[in-house]
Amino acid sequence: MSELSNLNKLTIDFYRKDVLTVAEGLLGKIFVKAEKNVILAGKIVEVEAYNGVIDEAAHSFRGKTKRNEVMFNKGGLLYVYFTYGVHYCCNVVTGEQDEGNAVLIRGIEPVSGIDIMAGNRFKKGSDFKIENIANGPGKICKAFNINLLDNGVDLTGDYIYILDNVKIPENRIVKTKRIGITKSADLPWRFYIKENGFVSKK
DNA sequence: CCACGGATTGGCT
DNA sequence: GCCAATCCGTGGA
């Protein structure tokens, strides 16, 4: 992969597309959180698409609420939600106003600020595997220190953003059913990079 | 009002 | 493999 400084930030055009197109397109891109003194960054290796119109598993399916209102904006925002009373998960809002579409980020391969992310995830001094830092949606938010304060952040800004990178070829992408849901469970809307060790589950 | 379960994770049996 | 953690949205009484 190129140096991060050589990569361009994804622009609004990327996000205002169909949710499945954006989901697949996000694979291989570099998710970045620029904190005061450190850059946290990693390659997106696993995602799931959620559609507010035809997908009962989407938070937006039953209409706008305080929790999910960010999902109904135009694409290009970060949607963060709190679940199981314990974890945060982060999503990329896609498409047009009031569609309620978003892509859940489920797996990230750490690239920069790895020691900081490990510190966010594990007790100081404990042994860990780099593969286990951000191989799951809750783990990603812990590693990147993302919470409800970051809900609605503009991804075209300078705080949390995504860098363009080489497109993952179609034959390197695995498409399967989504994980951990019971409604609309058969939709093949999970995408991950084949044989990548930072995917949450096989 | 109350009960239930969720786009999860990690610890313990 | 099982289950607690622990908040909040949803649905039924």
Residue A68: DSSP 8-state: T
Query: Distance from residue A119 (CA) to nucleotide B13 (C1'), in Å?
Result: 29
Coil/strand/helix, residue A107: strand
Paired tokens of A79: 């949607």
* Contact assessment for residue A126 and residue A133, using Cβ atoms and an 8 Å cutoff: no
Convert the pLDDT of each residue in A14-63 to its tens digit: 999 999 999 999 999 999 999 988 999 999 999 999 999 999 999 999 99
First-residue to last-residue Cα distance in chain A: 24
Task: Work out the pLDDT band at A126, boundaries 50, 70, 90.
Answer: confident
Instruction: Give the distance, in angstroms, between residue A139 CA and nucleotide B3 C1'.
Output: 29
Supply the pLDDT for residue A7.
97
pTM: 0.96
State pLDDT tens for residues A51-105.
Answer: 999 999 999 999 999 999 999 999 999 999 999 999 999 999 999 999 999 999 9
Nearest partner of A53 among A105, A23, A98, judged by Cα: A98
Which residues are in reach of strand B, CB within 7 A?
Answer: A 48, 50, 57-60, 68, 71, 79, 81, 83-87, 89, 91, 102, 104, 121, 132, 136-140, 142, 178-183, 200
Strands (E), A77-195: 78-83, 87-94, 101-112, 160-163, 173-176, 190-193
Task: Say how far A57 CA is from C9 C1', in Å.
Answer: 14
Tell me the pLDDT band of A123, cut-offs 50, 70 and 90.
Answer: confident
Residues lining strand C, beta carbon within 7 angstroms: A 62-63, 65-67, 82-86
Q: Say whether A24 sits in a helix, a strand or coil.
A: helix
Instruction: Count other Cβ atoms within 10 Å, centred on residue A122.
Output: 15
Q: Which helix (H) or strand (E) holds A143?
A: helix A137-143
How distant is C1' of B5 from CA of A172, in Å?
Answer: 36
- Structure tokens, A201: 């589950």
Protein residue at shortest CA distance from C1' of C9: A67
Name the one residue in this structure whose structure tokens are 């970060």.
A78
Nucleotide nearest to A180 (CA to C1'): B7
